[in-house]
Structure formats: C-alpha cells, structure tokens
Copies of this chain bind each other. A is one copy, B any other.
Amino acid sequence: MTDQPAYDEPARPQVHFSPPKGFMNDPNGLVYSNGTWHMYFQYNPNCTVAGGPQWGHATSQDLIHWQNHGLAIESENADESIYSGSAVVDKENTSGLFDDSIGPEERIVAIYTLHSPKKQVQCVAFSRDGGYTFASYQQNPVIDIGSKDFRDPKVFFHKPSSTWIMAVALSHEYQILFYGSKDLLHWTELSRFQAGLVGYQYEVPDLVEMPIEGTTATKWVLFVSINPGAPLGGSMTQYFIGEFDGEKFVPDDYIVRFADYGKDWYASQTWSNTPGNEVIGLAWASNWQYTNEVPTYPWRGCMSVARRMLLRKVRYNREYFGYSLAQFPVNIEQARNLNNAVTADRVDSSTGMKLRTKSGAAELLFYVSGVSLGNRFTDSSTILIELASKSARISIGLRVFETGAHVWLNRKADAAGWHHPLYNDNLSALVIPENMQCPVYKIHGIIDRGLTEIYVNDVVAFTNIHVLPDDEFADTVRVKLDDNLRITQASLYELHSAWTK
C-alpha cells in the first residue's frame, strides 16, 4: 500500500476522497465486497494533468475514511490506457475465472474500456484477492465493434433474467448500448437508447434499479453523462426514469432530469453488490472545462461524497408531481466534531449562526420557512451562507420567491488571483417546495475547503468546487437571513478530517 500523505493542503478536501498526488477523474469499478467499499478511479499518478489514465484504487469501511492502494489495473502498452468501467462480484463464478479456493466475495471482475489510438474495446480483468490485484483476461477484448468512441461499460446482474447487463456508451452516436451476458465474457447486444442533452458526446452510463421512497417498488434510472457541451458549460450528468425488462430501457417520459445542478459533478457511478441493494453512488467533482488548470497541488481532482439515492415523488410546480432523484450523504455524521458545533431550535435575522473550524470542513443542516412575500416579481427573501477565509469569501444563497426558490452560489476566485474564462463565478438552480402555501426548504451542506455540496430538500443537489487564495481555506461559516424568514432545527458542525491518523 502506498504512503498516505498529510492531506492538509489548504485546497484539499477533508471528508471527500482525492488521490495523494497526480490527476484523478471518473470513479470506476465501484464494488462492495466483504465489508469493504472499493473505489477505483481514472488516475494519472505522474502529473496533475489528465493523460494515459490507469485505474487507481482506494478502499473504505465507511465511505468517509479512505485508504490508498496505488494502481490496480495498468495498461500493458504505452499507447494504451485503461479507461472507465465497472466491477462486480462474480459470486457464482459465472465467468469461470475463479475456483473454489477463492471465496465468493473475493471474486471480483472488472469490465473496462481499453483505449488505444486505433479504437476503444471492452475488456475484462479479474481479481482473486477481493479487488486488490488484477489479472487481464487472456481473450480480451470481450467486445470490439471497431469504434474509436465506445466506452465506459457499467455492468450489473439482472436477477429476473439471470443475466449480466452492460450499459456502455457509443459516445459519438449519442447512444447507450445494452448488452447481455451469462458469463461476463461473451456479450450480445440487446438494445439502444438515445435522448436528452447530447453535447459533444455521451459518456459513463449507469442503469440502476432505484427504490421509490416509502414503498417496496422500484423504477429504473439511466444516468448519462455528457462532455463537453453541457448547458452550464462542459460536463454534466442527466438521468432518465423508466422501466427495464432485461432487454430494453423504456423511459416513462422523455423529460431530461439533472443528477446534480452544480458545475462539478460528472461521470457518476453507483456501487454494485451493496448491502440491502441500497443505491449508493458518487461522481467526480470537477469539470473538463477547467479541471486541468485548477490551482491545486500536488493533486488534481476529487470525488463527491458517497450518496444514498432513491426516487421520491415530488412537486414540479403547482399541478405536476413526478419522480426525482433524492440524495443523502452517507455516514457524514461520523465525521462530526460534536465539540465544535452550533445547534439551535430557531434562528432569526438578529442572531444568525456562525461556526469557526480548524479543519476547514463543516456540515450544515437546517430548515428555512416563514416566507411571506409581496409582489412576486421584485420581492424576494434571502438566506445567505458565507464561507470566509482570511481574505476571501464564497457566498451561497437561497433567494426565495412566491412559488419557489433559486439556490445560488458565488464562487468568484478574484481574491485568489485565479481566472479562467470557463469557470462560472455565479450559478443557480431552481427549487420547488412541496407545500407552496407554507414553503419549507431543507438545506444540507457539506463545505469542504475547495468543494461544497448543497442539498436542498434532498432533491436539488448542487456541487461546485471553489478556489481561494493558495494558503487559505474558509474556516468560518456564517448564516444570515432576512427578517421575514426563519431557520429551525439548525445544526452547524465542524467535520473532522477523515485523513488525520
């Protein structure tokens, strides 16, 4: 296992995973096995710019604390790279790659894209030690359609048809292809899907059977990432809700939904083989528009927190109710420093809230209510969350209007002297409250040095990196509010660094 560095650089997230050094992007091969959460990832350990990715590897027992394991899958030829893919536990040895000496939970099969200048093909690697070391399948590739842009296989076991199903992007045709296999090695195309925002290309699909909150029913969710050409610029992940019968994904509608409304949540993937079949996933928290130029050193790139996901029936407007992804940070409460926390049943404009942290990581959780507005066009009320460092400030606000609210972020990097034409200073997303007469907004935030995730009512996730001066992180969190708003059940916690030994 490789050394664990201090992880204390000012921009270094404390409760989010990032590699010790080098450049990281997409999460790969997310698989739970024997009590351990494995995460592989697109990794260039040699420098802080993308290029020639291999699979890095880290593990966690709680999805908060991570241990680095260096490279897990490396390409054999200099002009080849190990692009994104997934991993499963082949408990029944359907692949025949294991024998009885290998415990069922140790039988890990990774399915990834082998990239070369000529083409992209799908390959298999397998691990007989539960995911720590891999060998290449001798008859690779397992799928080769002669395409240069055919990648990011995500595989899961579909019980009703006893078949392994792969979702994979025929990127430049804007098609998600579904393949079926009995052994993870021989694959047959089943169907294709296309819809929504397309940008320059499709990437990293993920088809997931998603629980519907409060029921025993499920729906299928298909995640499709695009880059570049997202509406906000660069990279984003959309999803579709529908049914999957083992052959074909049929969406309930052709509505395009956003998995995250921020600028930095891309190439999401969910874990396979999770306890209780919970859906837990995360994404790379960056954007190809500027990821290679963001001023962090000696690493670039980090993951969002792991999120438990489900579908919730929510209000879209005065009359329409539909499903939406609801997302919940997993185990973040384990990182709370209860000795440095502020809680209050009620907060008003005269008091506000304030917390100073040593770690630069904080969690906030509260409910906003009490909105009473006049003219719907000009009057609005604001909750302001300020993240202050010595010389700079990031602002997050909720601008409440008659029928909803805009959650916004101002992450101007002027104080850091860092400018990038494609790094949007201001971003916003719409939130519709469940009760339009007495709106309540639940705000759950994880503020973590160079990265902030905000969840409003669990259904609007808003993840954005930010850039502060080199030697600073925001150690002070302030919450301010207008007279006609109130905050209830408020908590503001320092979060312990997950990297401190």
Residues of A within 8 A of B (CB): 49-51, 148-149, 171-174, 194-201, 228-234, 236, 253-256, 258, 261, 289, 292-293, 316-320, 375, 377-378, 382, 395, 397, 399, 403-404, 406, 408, 410, 412, 421-430, 432
A195 and B258 alpha carbons, distance in the complex (Å) = 14
Asked if A172 and B318 make an inter-chain contact with CB atoms under 8 angstroms apart, the answer reads yes
Interface of chain A: mostly helix, strand, loop or mixed: loop
CB distance from A367 to the nearest CB of B (A): 21
Asked if B229 and A430 make an inter-chain contact with CB atoms under 8 angstroms apart, the answer reads yes
A174 and B429 alpha carbons, distance in the complex (Å) = 19
Instruction: Choose one: B200, B377, B410; the contact of A403 (CB below 8 Å).
Output: B200
Q: Assuming the A-B contacts A228-B404, A317-B201, A408-B422, are A255 and B195 also in contact, with contact meaning beta carbons closer than 8 angstroms in the complex?
A: yes
A261 and B412 alpha carbons, distance in the complex (Å) = 22
Which residues of B are found within 8 Å of A194, using beta-carbon distances? 253-255
Which residue on chain B has the smallest CB distance to residue A408? B421
Asked if A406 and B254 make an inter-chain contact with CB atoms under 8 angstroms apart, the answer reads no
A23 and B427 alpha carbons, distance in the complex (Å) = 26
Q: Assuming the A-B contacts A149-B319, A254-B254, A292-B378, are A406 and B426 also in contact, with contact meaning beta carbons closer than 8 angstroms in the complex?
A: no
CB distance from A217 to the nearest CB of B (A): 23
Copies, count: 2
CB distance from A245 to the nearest CB of B (A): 20
Which residue on chain B has the smallest CB distance to residue A200? B317
Which residues of B are found within 8 Å of A148, using beta-carbon distances? 318
Between A and B, 27 residue pairs with Cβ closer than 8 Å are A49-B375, A51-B375, A148-B318, A149-B319, A171-B317, A172-B317, A174-B316, A194-B253, A194-B254, A194-B255, A195-B195, A196-B256, A197-B256, A199-B430, A200-B404, A233-B428, A234-B428, A289-B406, A399-B421, A408-B422, A410-B421, A421-B426, A422-B426, A422-B428, A423-B426, A424-B427, A426-B426
Which residue on chain B has the smallest CB distance to residue A425? B425
Which residues of B are found within 8 Å of A427, using beta-carbon distances? 233, 424
Q: Assuming the A-B contacts A229-B430, A377-B49, are A320 and B174 also in contact, with contact meaning beta carbons closer than 8 angstroms in the complex?
A: yes
CB distance from A471 to the nearest CB of B (A): 24
Which residue on chain B has the smallest CB distance to residue A398? B421
Output the residue of A194, A229, A378 with the most chain B CB within 10 A. Answer: A229
Asked if A377 and B51 make an inter-chain contact with CB atoms under 8 angstroms apart, the answer reads yes
A319 and B145 alpha carbons, distance in the complex (Å) = 15
Output the residue of A292, A399, A428 with the most chain B CB within 10 A. Answer: A428
Which residue on chain B has the smallest CB distance to residue A196? B256
Asked if B198 and A316 make an inter-chain contact with CB atoms under 8 angstroms apart, the answer reads yes
Asked if B404 and A421 make an inter-chain contact with CB atoms under 8 angstroms apart, the answer reads no
A441 and B317 alpha carbons, distance in the complex (Å) = 41
Instruction: Choose one: B50, B255, B403, B422; the contact of A174 (CB below 8 Å).
Output: B255
Which residues of B are found within 8 Å of A230, using beta-carbon distances? 231
Asked if A378 and B422 make an inter-chain contact with CB atoms under 8 angstroms apart, the answer reads no
CB distance from A412 to the nearest CB of B (A): 8
Which residues of B are found within 8 Å of A317, using beta-carbon distances? 149, 171-172, 200-201
A228 and B258 alpha carbons, distance in the complex (Å) = 15
Asked if B430 and A228 make an inter-chain contact with CB atoms under 8 angstroms apart, the answer reads yes
Which residues of B are found within 8 Å of A149, using beta-carbon distances? 317-319
Other than the known A51-B377, A397-B421, A399-B421, what 10 A-B pairs have Cβ atoms closer than 8 Å? A172-B320, A174-B320, A198-B256, A200-B404, A200-B430, A228-B430, A233-B429, A233-B430, A424-B427, A424-B428
CB distance from A497 to the nearest CB of B (A): 30
A377 and B300 alpha carbons, distance in the complex (Å) = 13
CB distance from A374 to the nearest CB of B (A): 12
Output the residue of A231, A377, A408, A412 with the most chain B CB within 10 A. Answer: A231
Which residue on chain B has the smallest CB distance to residue A384? B421
Which residue on chain B has the smallest CB distance to residue A195? B254
Instruction: Choose one: B173, B256, B422; the contact of A256 (CB below 8 Å).
Output: B256
A476 and B77 alpha carbons, distance in the complex (Å) = 55
Instruction: Choose one: B171, B234, B378, B428; the contact of A49 (CB below 8 Å).
Output: B378
CB distance from A166 to the nearest CB of B (A): 21
Which residues of B are found within 8 Å of A258, using beta-carbon distances? 231
CB distance from A439 to the nearest CB of B (A): 14
Which residue on chain B has the smallest CB distance to residue A148? B318
Instruction: Choose one: B198, B199, B424; the contact of A426 (CB below 8 Å).
Output: B424
Asked if B255 and A293 make an inter-chain contact with CB atoms under 8 angstroms apart, the answer reads no
